[in-house]
Amino acid sequence: MKIPVNLRNFYTKLIMRLKLNWGHGLFLAMVLFVIFIGSFVYKVMFMDQYDHKLVSEEYYKDELHYQDEIDRLNNAGALEKNVEAIVSDDGILLEFPSNFDYKNIKATLKLQRLSDESLDITKEIELDSLQYLIPDKFLAKGNYNLKMDWDYKGKSYQLREKITY
């Protein structure tokens, strides 16, 4: 693409008037790059919205039990119908399979809000039917990781889902 002569003359006169050469351009590019990197480092280190904490405080301890989690997930995958998490205006409804007896189900629920640890919910669930509701008053709008471990007649299962409430 060819630049029109009058535009080329304008840029040439501007550069001559400012007395810029390639060294000045290189220096200016380096300064702008340092400012960009500095602003990025500032945002990541000092702004609360860019949280860089680990998901689990006991990462290595949790890693030792990872095979157990895989087994529970495989058990849940082998079911005809797994637990369903249904988001509604009333909260999050957990529906257990209809062929299970709710009296023999023991479950531990963990709702993890990655953006704010104070909104995490960890609870032992006692069922009085095959449905369990996490009420709206305990939830804030946003993304959650749902992890529920449950046992039925000595066999362990796990449900993992990402939920937007």
Claim to verify: residue 86 and residue 38 sit in the same structural domain: no
**What does the longest C-alpha to C-alpha distance in the chain come to?**
86
Identify which of 6-15, 26-35, 108-117, 148-157 has the greatest average pLDDT: 26-35
Claim to verify: residue 86 and residue 149 sit in the same structural domain: yes
Tell me whether residue 54 is in a domain.
no
| Beta carbons of 95 and 84 less than 8 angstroms apart | yes
SS3 of the chain: helix, strand, coil, percent, to 5: 40, 30, 30
Claim to verify: residue 73 and residue 151 sit in the same structural domain: yes
Claim to verify: residue 73 and residue 140 sit in the same structural domain: yes
Residue count (the chain): 165
Claim to verify: residue 14 and residue 71 sit in the same structural domain: no
Claim to verify: residue 14 and residue 69 sit in the same structural domain: no
Residue 132 to residue 112: CA distance in whole angstroms: 18
DSSP assignments along 24-84, one per residue: HHHHHHHHHHHHHHHHHHHHHHH-TTS----S-TTHHHHHTTHHHHHHHHHHHHTSSS--E
pLDDT in tens, 22-72: 888 899 999 999 999 999 898 888 876 666 565 667 777 777 778 888 888
Domain CATH number, residue 85: 2.60.40.10
pTM exceeding the 0.85 threshold for the entire prediction: no
> Domains in the chain: how many in total?
2
Claim to verify: residue 128 and residue 79 sit in the same structural domain: yes
